[in-house]
Amino acid sequence: MLAPAPSAPARLAASPSSHLRTLEAEAIHVMREVAAQFERPALLFSGGKDSILMVHLARKAFHPGPVPFPLLHVDTGHNFPETLAFRDALVAGLGLRLEVASVQGAIDAGRVVEETGPEASRNGLQIVPLLDALAEHRFDAAFGGGRRDEEKARAKERFFSARDRFGQWDPKNQRPELWDLYNGHRHVGETFRVFPLSNWTEMDVWQYVALEGVGLPALYFAHERDVFERGGTLLAVTEFAGPQAGEAVRRETVRFRTVGDATCTGAVRSTASTLPEVIREVAAARQTERGGRHDDKRSEAAMEDRKKQGYF
């Protein structure tokens, strides 16, 4: 289920540049600042490469001590099985504390209403269980794996991003960040989202994964899977998503550039099955990393609208 650890040649294929070590040092500095300035931080964990990378960096930041905050997974109930298997193996192997906020639980409790129809997704429904979990555990800061190169709304985020008492984000009301000085002073009711990977690119992530030998779910590497196309997005056939009339199922060799809710996370046709092959493919890619996320195509401001409501 888990991708094998990269071989020595794969590691050598990565460029061990000072650029990656600079990004690593910056992310570790941000994590240590959060540990110093906040009382109850948590690390938002999706099972995707960015949150896995943050766990790796957190271990480095606080070595030889344990990671001083838990992981928080907002489970849509529509995850790829490979993602959950990787999450559970990682948590058990490293002895980490995991909290799970359930979208299905929020639906059952009447806190959110499930969408219907062929375009239905639980992606936006994660907001309520996320905010409920932050309140329940009194988390005052939540690490997110968002990077500025991913999407234009994420490009507006600061490292320390304040959220009001309702968990809402106002991109015009954020605190200045001069050099590496981060202001974590909270007004009553506020929480923070913190993005240690803000200055990383998709290529940086892959090169660092190769350099450090970070394990990832097998979803990120080429494999055969039944897929169908909807609105230009190649969706996997799962128990949560299937073809509608006129949508043909084909067996194709694909991989995923992002990992999220199975109903809206698109695959890409690819034969890249090793880290060097993935790195070469990313270098030549003409489509953005989130170009295969069906949910982001709902409107030009889909991500920013969700973030203003309290999304990651």
Residue 13 covered by a domain:
no
Report the phi/psi class of residue 247: left, alpha or beta, with left for phi > 0 and alpha for psi in -120 to 50: beta
CB atoms within 10 A of CB 297: 17
- The mean pLDDT of 115-143, rounded to a whole number, is 91
Q: Are residues 90 and 157 in the same domain?
A: yes
**Nearest by Cα to 14 from 283, 199, 288, 285:** 283
Q: Are residues 250 and 190 in the same domain?
A: no
Q: Are residues 37 and 179 in the same domain?
A: yes
Q: Are residues 199 and 227 in the same domain?
A: no
Q: Are residues 253 and 280 in the same domain?
A: yes
Q: Are residues 145 and 98 in the same domain?
A: yes
Q: What is the CATH number of the domain that holds 106?
A: 3.40.50.620
Say if residue 304's pLDDT is above 90. no
Rounded to 10°, the helix 275-284/202-212 angle is 160
* CA within 13 Å, CB half, 181: 6
Relative to beta strand 98-102, strand 71-75 is: parallel
Tokens 């002895």 belong to 95
Residue 210 covered by a domain:
no
Domain extent for 259: 217-297
Residues 195-228 have pLDDT tens digits of: 999 999 999 999 999 999 999 999 999 999 999 9
Q: Are residues 38 and 141 in the same domain?
A: yes
pLDDT at 7: 54
2: helix, strand or coil: strand
Residue 59 covered by a domain:
yes
Residues 137-181 have pLDDT tens digits of: 999 999 999 999 887 788 888 999 999 999 898 888 888 898 889
Residue 63 covered by a domain:
yes
Q: Are residues 160 and 264 in the same domain?
A: no
Residue 212 covered by a domain:
no
Q: Are residues 233 and 197 in the same domain?
A: no
Q: How confident is the model at residue 288 (pLDDT cuts 50, 70, 90)?
A: confident
Tokens 């909290």 belong to 99
CB atoms within 10 A of CB 170: 11
Q: What is the mean pLDDT of the chain?
A: 89
Tell me the Cα Rg of the chain: 19
Q: How confident is the model at residue 279 (pLDDT cuts 50, 70, 90)?
A: very high
Q: How many domains does the chain have?
A: 2
Residue 129 covered by a domain:
yes
Q: Are residues 191 and 242 in the same domain?
A: no
The pTM assigned to this predicted structure is 0.89
Q: Are residues 200 and 263 in the same domain?
A: no
Q: Are residues 232 and 175 in the same domain?
A: no
Is the torsion defined by CA of 207, 208, 211, 214 positive or negative?
Answer: negative
Residues 77-119 have pLDDT tens digits of: 999 999 999 999 999 999 999 999 999 999 999 999 998 887 7
Q: How far apart are CA 83 and CA 81, in angstroms?
A: 5
- In angstroms, how far is CA 30 from the centroid of its own chain? 18
